[in-house]
Structure 1
C-alpha cells in the first residue's frame, strides 16, 4: 500500500472512528437480540435505495457544477471542472464520506429489522398510558382536538402532510451534506454519532420499553375507537385532498401481518423519530445563520403538528423526543471530543 493510500485510510478512520464504534456496538447488540427474540433480520434491506439516492445526488451535484462552470465559459471545460472539484476538496470528502455511506444502509436495515420486532420483545401495551398523559397535559383533551380548529381544513391537512413527507428528503440531504463535509471534523463526528444514537436509543431501546402503536393503530390493535373521529376526518378529507398518511398507515398495518422486515416497515409510536431527527437537525443548523436556524425550528414545529394531526403520534411522543435529543447531542459531543493521552514524567522530560 502506497503512502498516499495509507494517508487516505488513516484520514477516513480518524474522521469516522467514533461513528464506526457506535454502529459496530449496535450491530452486535442487534444481532444478539434478533437471535434471542427470534426477530428476522435483512441486512440488505436499504442497499438499492441508498445506491439510487447516492447516484441521484452525485449526478445532480456534478450537473450543477458543470453548468455553473460552462456559464463562466472557460477555455477548456474538463480541466475547469477538475480544478473546481479539487478546490472544493473532493478527494478528502470522498475519503471521509464514502465509508459512512457504505455503512449506513446496513445500519438502517438492522434498525428496521429490530423496529419490526419490537412487539416480540415487549408486546404493545403503552397506548392507554400515553393517551392519558396527553390528556393530563392538555386540560383533559386529546391533543388533536386542540389543534383541529386550526388545522382541520382539507387544504391545511394536505399541505401539512406534504411537509411531513418532506422529512425524508430533508433528513437525507442534511445527512449527505454532513457525511461529506470536511470543514469541522468535531461537529461532523458529533452529528453522525448523535444521528445513530437517536435512532438506536429512541427508536429501538425506548420504543421497546414503551411499546406502543399510536392513534392511527389504536382501533386495529386494541379495538379502541377513541381516535376514530380523527381517522374519519382524515378519510373524508382524502376524498377531496390527498392525505398520504393514510396510505403509509395502511402499508404499515399490512406489513405488520407479514413475517420479516420490509422497506420502511415497523410500527412504533413513542417516542417520535420524525420529531427527534427534526430536533437534531435544528440543533445542528443553529450555527449556520438566521435562515437555516429558523428554517430548522419551523420545520420541527411543522413535523410535531403533523405527527399529531395526521394520527401518527400522541403529542407526548414528540415532547419526549424534543427533550431527549439535546441530551443525546451532548453525549455525542462528549464521545466525539478529542482525547489527549496523559503526558508522563519521562515524556515531559
Structure 2
C-alpha cells in the first residue's frame, strides 16, 4: 500500500473514531472566540503546548522503555522483528492513528478553556458566594461545611495528606485521559468519555462558572470583605507551618494572576461548580466498569477530592455536589449523542453501499 493510501486510510479512521469529539471541540473553540471578542477576553491558544509536548514525550519514552525491558528479559534472536510484533500486539499503530489527532487538539482546547475561565469576571462580576454559602450552610444543618467536617479532618497530618491527594488530581485526570485517548478496545465508550470530558469542562468550568460567578471560601474576605471563613484560613496557615499546605501558595498565585490581563497556566478563579470534583467523577464513572482496585480506588479518590476541596478552602461543598450530579447527566447525554451519531453513520454507510 502506498504512503498516500495509508495517509488517506489513517485520516479516515481518525475522523470516524473521533468525529463527535472533533465536532464538540471545534464548536466550543468557535463559540469561545466569539465570546472572547464580545467581552474583550484575551486568548492564548499556545498556553499548554510545551506542557503537553513534555507529557507526551514522557509517556512515549515510558512505553518504549517498557517494550525494551520486555525484550531484554525475553532476549529474542531477532530484536527488531520482536519489537515490531510487540507493537502490533498492543495495536500501537492503530492507537497512534486514532489518538494522536485528539492529543494534538487537547492543548488548544485547554488553552481556550483557561483563557475563558480567566475572563469570567469580565462576563459577570463575582456575586454568588453569599447565596452559595447560605445554601451550603443549610444543607449541613446550619453550619458551614468545613466546620461540619472539621472534627474529623482538622488534624495536621490528615490536612497534609488531603493536600497531597488534591495535587495528585492533575496526574490522575490526565493519565486516565491519555489512556482513553489512545485506547482502541471500545470505540463507543471512548467517544462517550471524550465528549463528556469536553462538555464537562466547557459547561461547568466556563458556562456555569460565569452564570454563578463565585470565588470560593479562600477568597471571600478579599473579594467580599467577609470574614466568615477566616477561621479556616487561619487553621490552614497555622498547620502549614508544620505540615506544608501548598494550596495556600496556589491560592496566592491565582490571586496574583487575577490582577493581570491575559491567561496564565492554571489561572482563573472560580468556585461553582468544581471542575476538580467533576473530573474525578468522570474518572469514577468510566473506571467503575473495570471493577476491583480501579473502581474503588476512583471512588475513594473522588471522596478525597470532594473533602479536600472543602477542607482546603477551595470550594463550598455544594460546588462538588452539583458537579457530581451534572457530570452524570452529561455522561448520559454524551451516550445518547454517541448512539445517535453511530446510527447516522451506519445509515449513510448502508446507503452508500446500496447506491454502489
TM-score, normalised relative to structure 2: 0.95
Question: Where in structure 2 are the equivalents of 1:136-155 lying within 5 Å?
Answer: 136-155=138-157
Aligned partner of residue 193 in structure 1, secondary structure: helix
Question: Where in structure 2 are the equivalents of 1:1-349 lying within 5 Å?
Answer: 2-337=4-339, 338-340=342-344, 341=347
Deviation string for 1:162-182 (max 9, x for gaps)?
A: 011100000010000000000
For residues 197 and 191 of structure 2, the distance between their equivalents in structure 1, rounded to whole angstroms, comes to 10
For residues 66 and 233 of structure 2, the distance between their equivalents in structure 1, rounded to whole angstroms, comes to 43
Aligned partner of residue 224 in structure 1, secondary structure: coil
Moved more, 198-207 or 286-295: 286-295
Deviation string for 1:29-66 (max 9, x for gaps)?
A: 00000000000000100000000000011111111221
For residues 314 and 282 of structure 1, the distance between their equivalents in structure 2, rounded to whole angstroms, comes to 21
For residues 92 and 18 of structure 2, the distance between their equivalents in structure 1, rounded to whole angstroms, comes to 17
Runs of 4+ in structure 1 displaced over 3 angstroms?
Answer: none
For residues 310 and 94 of structure 1, the distance between their equivalents in structure 2, rounded to whole angstroms, comes to 39
For residues 141 and 79 of structure 1, the distance between their equivalents in structure 2, rounded to whole angstroms, comes to 66
Instruction: Quote the RMSD (CA, aligned, Å).
Output: 1.3
For residues 255 and 306 of structure 1, the distance between their equivalents in structure 2, rounded to whole angstroms, comes to 23
Aligned partner of residue 288 in structure 1, secondary structure: coil
For residues 64 and 73 of structure 1, the distance between their equivalents in structure 2, rounded to whole angstroms, comes to 14
TM-score, normalised relative to structure 1: 0.97
Following superposition, the deviation at residue 300 of structure 1 comes to 0.5
Following superposition, the deviation at residue 316 of structure 1 comes to 0.1
5+ residue gaps in structure 2?
A: none
For residues 296 and 78 of structure 1, the distance between their equivalents in structure 2, rounded to whole angstroms, comes to 38
For residues 90 and 325 of structure 2, the distance between their equivalents in structure 1, rounded to whole angstroms, comes to 37
